[in-house]
Amino acid sequence: MSYCINPACPQPQNPNSVNRCQACGSELILRDRYQIIQPLGKGGFGATFLSKDTSLPGDPICVIKELRPSTTTPSVLEMSRRLFEREAETLGKIGHHPQIPRLLGYFEWKKHFYLVQEYVSGSTLKQEVKKQGPLTEEQAQEFLLEILPVISYIHSQGVIHRDIKPANIIRRSQDGHLVLIDFGAVKDHVSQTHLASGGTGETAFTNISIGTSGFAPPEQMALRPVYASDIYALGVTCI
């Protein structure tokens, strides 16, 4: 199946045999390369999709994150482009760690912005806890011993994750190691783009979710995250 990424499409699922959505007419292959299979997550300003890279042998699976700027005025679009490129550079830098998904590419297409990342197969910590119950003290210690070096690494690269929670930590099925996902590229860009379009700090705080309530500390929800914000969220994750 192919999936239409037009958020207004009334029937996004399509057969593989068509190149345009049967319901809304949108193109189904991004840049004549990426075929969207299904959505993984959606927000008010962007979405994440499971995709196939049809330009490579075997059509390998990847993850595509899409940013849709709040408006398409030239100033906002240019600000979005600069922030997007800077974020892509950051993800490319930190993605060399074996427990962080690699950045495979990024591009602008029809005034929308896309990140292409490695797909990690496995169960999230949220799924494991739901199935097996809360971590024991010993399990929590083992969890921290493995994930803290990953967080230390991204901090050494000048990056704050901003959204550490059980749903963003995957136990990779291939080897059982923990992988930290979702570095909030879409959320960061959207919040800054919104400010660039004339919104006040109060408006941005009201309309843009930075992190996840219950995990993010107060300074992060007030748009002033620091490295310790990730440690706070990690502590809540263990609880």
Phi-psi region of 122 (alpha: psi -120 to 50; beta: other; left: phi over 0): left
Write the DSSP string, 5-20.
--TT-S--EE-TT-SB
- Over its C-alpha atoms, the chain yields an Rg (Å, rounded) of 18
Measured distance CA(190)–CA(115) in Å, rounded: 14
Query: What are 37's two structure tokens?
Result: 């299979």
Query: What are 47's two structure tokens?
Result: 């979405």
Measured distance CA(49)–CA(2) in Å, rounded: 11
Measured distance CA(113)–CA(54) in Å, rounded: 19
Name the catalytic one among 32, 59, 163, 175: 163
Measured distance CA(228)–CA(55) in Å, rounded: 42
- Active-site residue flag, 53: no
Known catalytic residues?
Answer: 163
